[in-house]
Amino acid sequence: MNRPVTTVIDLRGLDCPKPFQKATAEAMMLSPGETILLQIGIYPQPLLDYLEQHNFSFEAESTTEGEFLIYITAQEDSIQLSTTIVQPPQS
């Protein structure tokens, strides 16, 4: 993949469900067009299903060491966290 990567996140060696939790939290913070790269020791099918359901694009590559590189890119229509700013009441 030739897209510029915003952040590289190493999830290797983490116990479940931490890789899923960290990856989804990071993906939800992406702006449209931003890409993150995950390094992970197992093929993350539940994560890929989640990303597909939330309209993120992704590519998975295997390494010669048997690990995986997952590139996640937020799309314009990706379901992301929104920030609501609550203004204090005017006195």
Task: Assess if residue 54 is contained within a domain.
Answer: yes
Task: Assess if residue 81 is contained within a domain.
Answer: no
Q: Report the C-alpha gap between 30 and 6 in whole angstroms.
A: 9
Report pLDDT digits (tens) over 51-60: 999 999 999 9
Structure tokens, 5? 């990567």
Task: Assess if residue 15 is contained within a domain.
Answer: yes
Task: Check whether the bond before 17 is cis (ω within 30° of 0).
Answer: yes
Task: Assess if residue 13 is contained within a domain.
Answer: yes
CATH of the domain at 31: 3.30.110.40
The answer to whether 60 touches 48, Cβ cutoff 8 Å, is: yes
Tell me which residue range forms the domain holding 38: 7-73
Average pLDDT, the chain: 86
Task: Assess if residue 86 is contained within a domain.
Answer: no
Task: Assess if residue 57 is contained within a domain.
Answer: yes
pTM of the model: 0.81
Report pLDDT digits (tens) over 74-85: 998 776 654 434
What domain count does the chain have? 1
